[in-house]
A and B are shown apart, each in its own frame.
Chain A
Amino acid sequence: QTVVTQEPSFSVSPGGTVTLTCGLSSGSVSINHYPSWYQQTPGRTPRTLIYSTNTRSSGVPDRFSGSILGNKGALTITGAQPDDESDYYCALYMGSGIWVFGGGTKLTVL
């Protein structure tokens, strides 16, 4: 099956902007993959941030935004907060009832 790629780790300064990406081992990510993004801190269940490429889930701060950048899905955090230090996962719908998660990005805010 297709592999979904994410940066293993990223670092951002408090107040800074960071863009995490979600790519495909073969082909380009498009809106037809319904890219979604999840935040997970240790010991907790994942929290939905973004779905359908760029729709923020209820209660998610507007510093989180989603888009397609080039051939990848992207999650941008503008004005990063210390509480944003988490693991971030993207998921792509591959059609025919199949989903694939990316390997996740560990974001450090310091």
Chain B
Amino acid sequence: EVQLVESGGGSFQPGGSLRLSCAASGFIFSDYWMHWVRQIPGKGLVWVSRVDGGGRGTYADSVKGRFTISRDNAKNTLYLQMNSLRAEDTGLYYCVRTNVGAYFDLWGRGTLVTVSS
């Protein structure tokens, strides 16, 4: 089955760190660019970061310098290292695949990150 399964969310303090993981299955993981997209429940979608097949990452300005996206193609796993956490990093983090045409075609169910003191 083609799917993405996120893990690693929870409750964290401002200034803290965490690493999200996304296990991919059912497709050739290394062929695709992968993303993290955040959503506060009941609010809109926010693009966070992308990694290409070779591991090069790009970031939204709001997370640049604090978050690092990476992938392990041998393990079919995507990661997001989140440092210097802020309250505004709170949200449901989706692992998402883009297809040719630069669109998001496969979404995980998300993992919830809450940053609060």
Using CB atoms and an 8 Å cutoff, list the residues of chain A in contact with chain B: 1, 34, 36, 38, 40, 42, 45-46, 48, 51-52, 55, 57, 89, 91, 93, 96-104
Residues on A with C-beta less than 8 A from B109 are 45
- Would you list the 10 A-B pairs with minimal beta carbon distance, nearest first? A97-B58, A51-B103, A36-B103, A34-B102, A93-B102, A52-B101, A45-B107, A101-B45, A99-B47, A104-B44
**Residues 52-106 of B at the A interface (beta carbon under 8 Å):** 52, 56, 58, 60-61, 94, 99, 101-105
A sample of 8 inter-chain contacts (CB < 8 A) reads: A38-B45, A45-B110, A48-B104, A52-B101, A52-B102, A98-B60, A101-B44, A104-B44
Query: With A99-B47, A101-B47 as given contacts, are A38 and B104 in contact (CB-CB < 8 Å)?
Result: yes
**Nearest A residue to B98, CB-CB:** A99
Query: With A34-B101, A55-B101 as given contacts, are A46 and B107 in contact (CB-CB < 8 Å)?
Result: yes
Using CB atoms and an 8 Å cutoff, list the residues of chain B in contact with chain A: 35, 37, 42, 44-47, 50, 52, 56, 58, 60-61, 94, 99, 101-105, 107-110
A99–B51 Cα distance when bound, in Å, is 12
**Nearest B residue to A42, CB-CB:** B42
**Nearest B residue to A87, CB-CB:** B44
A89–B45 Cα distance when bound, in Å, is 8
A40–B37 Cα distance when bound, in Å, is 14
